[in-house]
Amino acid sequence: MVKIAVAGGSGNVASEIIDGLVATGKHEIVILSRKDIPTERPTRGITWIKADYDSIEQLTQVLQGVHTVLSFVIEQDNPDSPVQKRLITAAVRAGVKRFAPSEWASSSLENLPWYGYKAEIRRYLAELNKDKKVFEYALFQPGLFTNYLTRPYKTSNHIHPLETPFDFNGRRTILLEAGDDAEITLTTVQDLVGVITRAIEYEGEWPVTSGIRGTTLSVGQLVALGEKIRGSPFKVERVKAEDFKAGTWVTSWIPRVDHPSIPPEQVDALSKLGVAGISLAIGAGAFAVSDEWNQLLPDYHFTQADAFLSEVWKGRA
């Protein structure tokens, strides 16, 4: 049993992982949140603390006795990531052993400017451990959640199924021209939770690059899988890379990237930028991740995209 602090604990991915940790019944869990302590969620096994992320002193105090910090702090508006830097400073001062920064997505951050804060924290942590190992940290990277491809049907308790360029429901896709061979990793959020609960108990050292690989396939294979599962061809629209970059691309539809972290009034304006970035990132291999945790957990059975998606879409019109 260890004491775990979860920073930014009210988000979708954090909520999934918290539920998984609570279900083990093994750990003491402290959730740090900017928001008021919720009354509607079960709190058995959980202590909620309203955190002052501007105060290293308060953060250091609440992290006393904590073994592992899992961060889900989102700082899209400030690529310098001051909140996570203060959290890291507090974790070091409090003697935290392990730290997982707010990653939970791609291996590369190329073409994903809203992930600038992730890049800064990668640099910051590497610099922190450059001369002397201060603490273990891991960049947990599952690629794209397979659960997103079940929209509009929810396949987990908390993950919001986003619209992506791969629309299984509408049998359509937007592809980067000449990008069919690019690889993409699809991992269920359930498998992410399964790995994290085991990583907490893992007695060896966490690998810095911590890939979690469900299924890796090419873009072309993913479209073919969608057509097989949905029983008919997809409408494929192709866009040149230069048009994505210039923002001049035109398609018959634009996926709405209505992530909970994006204010509703900004969704339409940011969707075109987001889809372009995601498409270019996929083309550059940013969502193909490594398999460190597959290797470290050889007995864990990872859900394959074909089986997962076939079950969800079975019998759907």
Domain 144-187+215-288+303-313: give its CATH architecture.
Alpha-Beta Complex (3.90)
For residues 305 and 203, give the distance between their C-alpha atoms in angstroms, rounded to a whole number: 30
- 3-137 and 144-187+215-288+303-313: identical CATH topology: no
pTM: 0.95
Contact between 30 and 90 under an 8 Å Cβ cutoff? The reply is no
For residues 117 and 146, give the distance between their C-alpha atoms in angstroms, rounded to a whole number: 24
Domain at 3-137, CATH from 3.50.30.50, 3.40.50.720, 3.10.28.10, 3.40.50.410: 3.40.50.720
Domain ranges of the chain: 3-137, 144-187+215-288+303-313
Per-residue pLDDT of the chain (317 residues; tens, 9 = 90+): 899 999 998 889 999 999 999 999 999 999 998 876 666 655 667 999 989 999 999 999 999 999 999 999 999 999 999 999 999 999 999 999 999 999 999 999 999 999 999 999 999 999 999 999 988 999 999 999 999 999 999 999 999 888 999 999 999 999 999 999 999 999 999 999 999 999 999 999 999 999 999 999 999 999 999 999 999 999 999 999 999 999 999 999 999 888 777 777 877 878 999 999 999 999 999 999 999 999 999 999 999 999 999 999 999 98
Which phi-psi region, left, alpha or beta, contains residue 294 (left: φ > 0; alpha: ψ -120 to 50)?
Answer: alpha
